[in-house]
């Protein structure tokens, strides 16, 4: 699907806001639209649009003006601990994970790196 830019600029969050939120988080949802009839190259396969919740749904393609409708799409739901980094996943994907063993000392829990890292 094509991504059509919103008509107004998107404000960037302050450094305080952005540091406390995951990098993929957004204040506005991305809506999917599909054309009601033959349309331009921008909307023939549908398109995504970043909009505020309070904004009305588009009725026309911003590029060609042909009628479009909003499509209800399934949200991504992550349940359980499967999205977290586990020791088995870390090592299998070539990373090394360390656990703090004392002040300035870390011991390896997964991966192929050195057994210990010391700040001394």
* In 5-104, beta strands by DSSP E: 30-35, 47-50, 68-71, 97-102
Average pLDDT, the chain: 76
The DSSP secondary structure of 72-83, one letter per residue, reads --PPP---TTTT
- The pLDDT of residue 33 is above 60: yes
Q: pLDDT category, 15, cuts 50, 70, 90? A: very low
Q: List, for residues 43-95, the tens digit of each pLDDT value.
A: 888 888 888 888 899 999 988 889 999 998 777 776 766 656 677 778 888 88
Q: Which residue did the predictor score with more confidence, 19 or 42?
A: 42
Phi, psi of 52 (to 5 degrees): -70, 155
Least confident of 4-8, 27-31, 60-64: 4-8
């Amino acid at each position: 699907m094509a991504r059509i830019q919103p008509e107004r600029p998107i404000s960037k969050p302050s450094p305080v806001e952005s540091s406390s939120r995951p990098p993929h988080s957004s204040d506005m949802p991305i809506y999917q639209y599909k054309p009601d009839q033959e349309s331009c190259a921008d909307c023939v396969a549908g398109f995504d649009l970043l909009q505020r919740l309070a904004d009305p749904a588009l009725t026309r393609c911003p590029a060609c003006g042909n009628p479009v409708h909003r499509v209800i799409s399934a949200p991504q739901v992550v349940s359980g601990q499967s999205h977290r980094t586990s020791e088995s996943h870390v090592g299998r994907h070539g990373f090394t994970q360390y656990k703090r063993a004392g002040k300035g000392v870390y011991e390896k829990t997964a991966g192929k790196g050195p057994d210990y890292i010391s700040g001394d």
